[in-house]
Structure 1
């Protein structure tokens, strides 16, 4: 009974979405459309995942992080309602995702199998119009993000984050700050993999820029200048 109720709710969400935007998908693909529900911090896709569907965000926000081959440089893009996910890969015939896509808030998405999406966009101008608008937003978001968050090595981004964390937690009035965040939390906030976070922690530990006790990162007032020295001279966080 509960399963049927959830299914009926998803069918209603789908129907309302299609009617709201006057979409007219081919009858053959209607049974293939499905609603996906995600919670904040859920990972929708990670680098290397196979591409089976194109997603349309109905509700919620997502962060896209793209890592360069050395794992040290990242570019962030924000996505919201009306934006498409994996549509470019679909057109390119790509087989795997080249970025990580993390849910920033509770979200609803419409998942459309790749072949179904290609068939739908070929006959529905309303869908193409939404797709074009999404691409325009993505270009704008990428440009804004690039100007606000310059490309930087991972260790610079991590040091900048730790300096900000220490300031927010009163390093000026106390001898030591404990970073009360798991490696997964740091990964989510910085867009770096957990493996990269662990590598950066070890690097900063070797420089005596932080201490690790019982798995927690500790930073003293004396270590803060060492963190600042990692940043470029022009960085406002120094």
Structure 2
């Protein structure tokens, strides 16, 4: 499943400021490096985590993207999160020791695999690492509440505009273009995440294009009017 790779180091990773190494000194980085392993590449639609599986690892996304989802009582997939480079996957299992959702790759994805027992021990020894873990968990909790607020208090057009704006800001935080990016998730995935129908997502995208706010070319999204997108998001 994984292998040690001496050629991959946290200090050389462009995503380190978004991930666990943030604020660690050189000695702390070296100690973190000793427990991190390289997970084999995931291909599109590979399942990384299954609901009910015991917590053994946290996964840091080095490149690519994943979606997290649950299966509802009707057997339907409900998307609960999208993971980009720099994100950690697996926090859902920290309270019970078992994963409560699935995680599946949306494209070819490279991961760093972090054994939870070794990470717990190291976090006790490195206060900066413990603080960073708490910060990342806090961010995930806030993002979950923000999604609930989006679903409860925004109209369908506002939800989709807010989703595109949020993606734009997340890409910018990773040193990527905030105005032109590729959607690795399907429209059905977006619809599930936002509590909309696929037809509604397509209609709103067309409306935003008609307003010259965005342009959509298959999977590519170009934001031509970021102020207009923010206003559309409410």
TM-score (norm 1): 0.49
Rg bigger for which structure? 1
